[in-house]
Amino acid sequence: MEDERRERTAFYATRWPGAIVLPYLGVWPEIDESAFVAPGAVVIGNVTIGPESSIWFNTTVRGDIAPIGIGARSSVQDGTVVHVNMDAPTVIGDDVTIGHSALIHGTTIANGSTIGMGAIVLSYSRIGSGVVVAAGALIPERMEVPDGAVMMGIPAKQRDSLSAEQQARIGSIGGRYVNVSRNYLADLRSTVTREQAEQGRDSED
């Protein structure tokens, strides 16, 4: 058990330098190697992060009392908190963008949706595909948000509906963050490689 912990800790430290990746009750996060977890981000327990997704600075993804799943090419931006209820896991689909300092709790967010900065999405709710939740909006517990809805206010109410073309444009936002996260990932990994090389030279001296 201790050997596995050391191996995993070393692997995560090399793969995502500065990120805090921890087990809970022996369950480790499963993070695709192409994903980006920023320095200072915290990922704990039963969490799955899919290909080319990104977890940005000072975000917490805590899968302790229930699992959290994040699909492909989804972006969870700086300062966001993602958590669960015991009977309400969090499921975030593909191509989802979650803005800075949002609170995502025990909910399901379908593919291609955007959650605005500072929005709160509460337990047992379901966000359909291609939805926009405006900055600062509150999605109450158990709310069902239909596909393509534009939700605004506290509590949130539907203010508009997006066409299929508009939904496709919203879903493409995540691709921008894939490219940015690749740049960060390359820089961080090359920094670690340089530091390791320098440490090796120092030990030889």
User: How far is the C-alpha of 105 from the C-alpha of 113, rounded, in Å?
Assistant: 16
Whether 115 has a pLDDT exceeding 60, the answer reads yes
User: How far is the C-alpha of 38 from the C-alpha of 79, rounded, in Å?
Assistant: 11
Is 2.160.10.10 the CATH classification of the domain at 2-204? yes
Say which amino acid occupies 56. Answer: W
In DSSP terms, 105 is beta-bridged to 83
pLDDT at residue 201, as a whole number: 44
Angle at which helix 173-204 crosses helix 164-171, to 10 degrees, equals 10
Q: How confident is the model at residue 204 (pLDDT cuts 50, 70, 90)?
A: very low
pTM for the complete prediction?
A: 0.90
**Average pLDDT, stretch 177-190?**
89
Q: What is the pLDDT of residues 9-23, one digit of tens each?
A: 888 888 899 999 999
Q: How confident is the model at residue 192 (pLDDT cuts 50, 70, 90)?
A: low
Pull the structure tokens for residue 196. 């390791």
Domain edges within the chain: 2-204
Q: What is the pLDDT of residues 84-101, one digit of tens each?
A: 999 999 999 999 999 999
CB 110 within 8 A of CB 128: yes
User: How far is the C-alpha of 23 from the C-alpha of 2, rounded, in Å?
Assistant: 12
